[in-house]
Structure 1
Amino acid sequence: MQTSITRLALAAVLAVALAGLAEAAPRKKAPERGYFDVSRMAPLTDQKGDPANGRKVAATKGLCVSCHVMPIPEQPDHGDVGPDLAGVGSRMQPPELRMRIVDPKVLYADTIMPSFYKSDLNRVKKGLEGKPFLTAQEVEDVVAYLATLK
């Protein structure tokens, strides 16, 4: 009888330990980059972002409306692949907005959102190799615009 109780107790302890290991198992996360801390993602320029130009960049060169619904009514076709950006300035601070534009894979390894400020991209149009899609100032302008969407 004592042996049965001991085995039952050991089985219970083992079950709890295994449940804890399963909960603590590493989840898929973005690769370590070392140079990005989202909470401290500093502006890319010394010049403050221009929300009006950021809105223009988001609607045109940035192609944000291709994947996101945005409060830009003059653009008739908005995508629905990414999240709706209405109110994004209430949900995220500028450093996180900036990171999502600069290198979204740091936050979500499996995202299909491209980086708009990396220069080591593959299959780039001739003449644009080694250049980011948006300039540092354009990134800051888009961040300033998105921050106004409250």
Structure 2
Amino acid sequence: MKLSFALAAVAACTAGIAMAAPVAPADVEFSEYGDVATSLTGQPGDPANGVKIMANRGKGNCVACHAVSAMSDVPFHGEVGPTLDGVADRWNEAELRGLVANAKKTFEGTIMPAFYKNEGYIRPGNAYTGKAPTEALTPLLTAQEVEDVVAYLMTLKEQ
């Protein structure tokens, strides 16, 4: 009887975690230094998908500004931002999550896009039309995609 109750409790907790909704962009809690301590999804990130997002021109496209030696098969690495080699030795997971979600919370004047933001823009445009958007803006990355990028970044340690 006790074992059945314990298993039911574990199943209920697991189901609650799996069914938890992602944190909405406006509800992300940044510390005063810009880090985000809590996962945006409650689910672990997928480093393999993080690599794809970082290389995808329609998504993160991190390599457009950052060099990443481990992604040498992806062309056209940028030099605008710092190299991401060893980034997991310089920043912890919460700091990296904050930087990917909205780097302006850490570095006010940065040109790095806020990948998990959908409000507070000065002059948002509707794609490349030159007109104001007619619908609510969506973040560049989903909450899970942010977690996937962070999971990949956490693998980038000094050799």
TM-score normalized by the length of structure 1: 0.72
**Is contact 2:45-2:144 (8 Å) kept?**
yes
Aligned residue pairs, count: 117
Corresponding residue for residue 100 of structure 1: 99
C-alpha distance in structure 2 between counterparts of 1:39 and 1:62, whole Å: 19
Give the helix-richer structure, 1 or 2.
Answer: 1
Identity between Structure 1 and Structure 2 (%): 48
Q: CA deviation at 1:77?
A: 0.7
C-alpha distance in structure 2 between counterparts of 1:63 and 1:40, whole Å: 22
Q: CA deviation at 1:129?
A: 3.9
Unaligned runs of 5+ in 1: 1-33
Counterpart check, 1:131 vs 2:138: yes
Q: CA deviation at 1:36?
A: 1.3
Deviation per residue, 1:58-84 (Å, 9 max, x gap): 111211000000121111210000000
Deviation per residue, 1:91-150 (Å, 9 max, x gap): 111100010011111111110111000012422425874210000000000000000000
Change (3 A) 1:127 1:52: farther
Corresponding residue for residue 148 of structure 2: 141
Amino acid at match of 2:30: F
**Is contact 2:100-2:115 (8 Å) kept?**
yes
Largest Rg, 1 or 2: 1
